[in-house]
Structure 1
């Protein structure tokens, strides 16, 4: 279990998530708040797993 946790490539904060998905912070925040992105709020901060976000966008593009 510890190995899996260490292998996750987590993206913290709206700014970093926005940079990864190529959107503005405002667009990204709206997408996060409305549940359009596979991310969670942890301790007041948004967090997403890089691979999950990439797969999400690859599937919607196909």
Structure 2
């Protein structure tokens, strides 16, 4: 037994292994679109529609959040938002 066996794990850690803490963050990172270009490509299929993204953000019509100055959105939330838009348009 050496000295490191007596050191407690960090408070946010399930185990003392740092890889355990970061493994759950990978799916979230893959779900985030960062910037109007990425959001435009996801929604419209082309980055040239980034101005439309800015207009939707400005009018609070698009579910986004900011990380600093960057506009970000989660793919899963956008897909849910699109599905909701489709349901409300059906009469």
Q: Partner of 2:60 in structure 1?
A: 35
Cα distance, 1:42 vs structure 2: 1.4
User: What are structure 2's unaligned runs of at least 5 residues?
Assistant: 1-11, 13-20
Tell me whether 1:6 sits opposite 2:31 in the alignment: no
Computed over aligned residues only, the root mean square deviation of the Cα atoms, in angstroms, reads 1.8
Partner of 2:6: none
* TM-score, scaled relative to structure 2: 0.60
Structure 1 gaps of 5+ residues are none
Structure ID, larger Rg: 2
> Taking structure 1 as the reference length, what is the TM-score of the superposition?
0.84
> Alpha-carbon deviation of 1:6?
3.0
Q: Which protein has the bigger strand share?
A: 1
Aligned residues: 61
Larger RCO: 1 or 2 (CA < 8 Å, sep 6+) = 1
Partner of 1:57: 82
